[in-house]
Amino acid sequence: MSRKRTLPRAGFVIAALLATTPAPAADYYAGKTIDLVVGNYPGGGYDIYARALGRHLGRNIPGQPTIVVKNMPGAGSAKAGHHIQTIAPKDGLTIGAVTPGAIIGPLLDEKPEAIFDPLRVTYLGTANAGSRICATYGASKIRTFADTLSQKTRLGGVSPGDAVHDYAYLIKRTTHAQIDVIAGYKGTLDLALAMERGEVDGACGWDWSSAKAQKPEWIRERKLNILAQLGPSQSTELTQMGAPQIWAYMRDDAARQVHAMVVSQQAFTRPYFIATGTPPELVATLRTAFDATMRDPQYIADAEKMRIDISPLPGATVQDMIGKLYATPKAVVEQARAAIRP
């Protein structure tokens, strides 16, 4: 009698477990669409990278879902981050792509009501850990960084939280450069047009890979004056082109410490993430697919054709780096906050 009672119950438990076990990733993603939400305007560097990723990521996900890129600019890219963190379903069907400024921004922003918390999303990885540049258009009278020390230099910006905006102020406050920041442009493509029209001399914080992808003819025809390279480490390519590292122009050791904290974000220049709370098996599937895409010969060939650099890091590494960034001592954070804001 005892065995007859327990067998149905055991069968019920097994059936219940099977019912709650997630379907294989191939079954889950087959026929579905993943939205890749980019926190910048079309044609900008982050849009270029995201569309390149979108052309190849689906092929490396079991079930080969369709990837659709959607632009959601606003709040220095944080609007897209807020969408992923708060609004998008936690079903592995929405991926975010924002600037590193949107990630470091809440740490440095004086306003406590930041709409995006970078610690509350799950990172799939970064496609690029690159250098940035200070540069002017060929017709500008500012041709070297030394020129900025003795002449007024107009640098274009977007809005707080965007790299070219924050870096312009960072350079202004940590060196003796005579910089005026002209804000309100819609990304680096719009800013490049302003440089060409003579509205501004140039930009600081322009991602080098983006510059090569957006304006290859400027580099080929020597219409871009690269004043300095910005980043935690030296770029061999930029050094061979004669671009000095910005560290040589820092005011003092305190300025170097502040600058080092801000540029640490360049280790995750092209971050991609999903909502925290997404089922672990989907997180694992998307992280594996992201890593596979970064090694995909078709993706690499596409990137070379578009002149964009691929120097990826996996999601767990990016997650750890951002956690450590947010553990920076308060005094250093306060100095950095003062350096990058108007």
| 136 and 125 both lie in a single domain | no
Which tokens is 227 given? Answer: 């004043």
Which tokens is 197 given? Answer: 């029209």
State whether residue 95 is helix, strand or coil: strand
Domain hosting residue 256, numbered range: 132-265
Cβ burial, residue 221 (10 Å; 0-12/13-18/19+): exposed
| 221 and 147 both lie in a single domain | yes
pLDDT exceeds 90 at position 139: yes
Task: Give the model's pLDDT for residue 3.
Answer: 39
pLDDT exceeds 80 at position 66: yes
Task: Give the model's pLDDT for residue 1.
Answer: 34
Helices (H), the chain: 2-20, 25-29, 45-57, 78-82, 100-108, 145-150, 163-174, 187-197, 208-214, 216-220, 236-240, 253-263, 280-295, 297-306, 315-325, 330-340
Domain boundary at 239, 265, 291, which? Answer: 265
CATH of the domain at 323: 3.40.190.150
Task: Please name the residues in contact with 102: beta carbons below 8 A apart, sequence gap of 6 or more.
Answer: 39, 75, 76, 77, 78, 80, 81, 116, 118, 161
Instruction: Say how far apart CA 275 and CA 335 lie, in whole Å.
Output: 31
| 99 and 142 both lie in a single domain | no
Domain boundary at 242, 265, 288, which? Answer: 265
Q: Does residue 305 lie in a domain region? A: yes
301 CB neighbour count, 10 Å cutoff? 11
Domain count, the chain: 2
Task: Give the model's pLDDT for residue 11.
Answer: 41
Q: Is the four-CA dihedral 32, 117, 260, 142 of positive or negative sign?
A: positive
| 233 and 304 both lie in a single domain | no
CA 27 distance to own-chain centroid: 31
Instruction: Say how far apart CA 280 and CA 103 lie, in whole Å.
Output: 23
Using one digit for the tens of pLDDT, what is the confidence trace for 185-215?
Answer: 998 999 999 999 999 999 999 999 889 999 9
| 50 and 98 both lie in a single domain | yes
Q: Does residue 26 lie in a domain region? A: yes
Q: Does residue 335 lie in a domain region? A: no
pLDDT exceeds 70 at position 6: no
Taking residues 95-120, report their average pLDDT. 88
Instruction: Say how far apart CA 256 and CA 49 lie, in whole Å.
Output: 30
| 167 and 260 both lie in a single domain | yes
Domain boundary at 211, 233, 265, which? Answer: 265
| 258 and 149 both lie in a single domain | yes
Q: Does residue 2 lie in a domain region? A: no
Candidates 88, 76, 75, 85; CA nearest to 35 is 88
pLDDT band at 112 (very low <50, low <70, confident <90, very high): low
CATH of the domain at 152: 3.40.190.10
Q: Is the four-CA dihedral 243, 312, 102, 339 of positive or negative sign?
A: negative
Instruction: Say how far apart CA 69 and CA 53 lie, in whole Å.
Output: 10
Using one digit for the tens of pLDDT, what is the confidence trace for 315-331?
Answer: 999 999 999 999 999 99
| 123 and 38 both lie in a single domain | yes
Q: Does residue 217 lie in a domain region? A: yes
Using one digit for the tens of pLDDT, what is the confidence trace for 212-256?
Answer: 999 999 999 999 999 999 988 889 999 999 999 999 999 999 999
Q: Does residue 125 lie in a domain region? A: yes
Taking residues 127-156, report their average pLDDT. 96
Q: Does residue 3 lie in a domain region? A: no
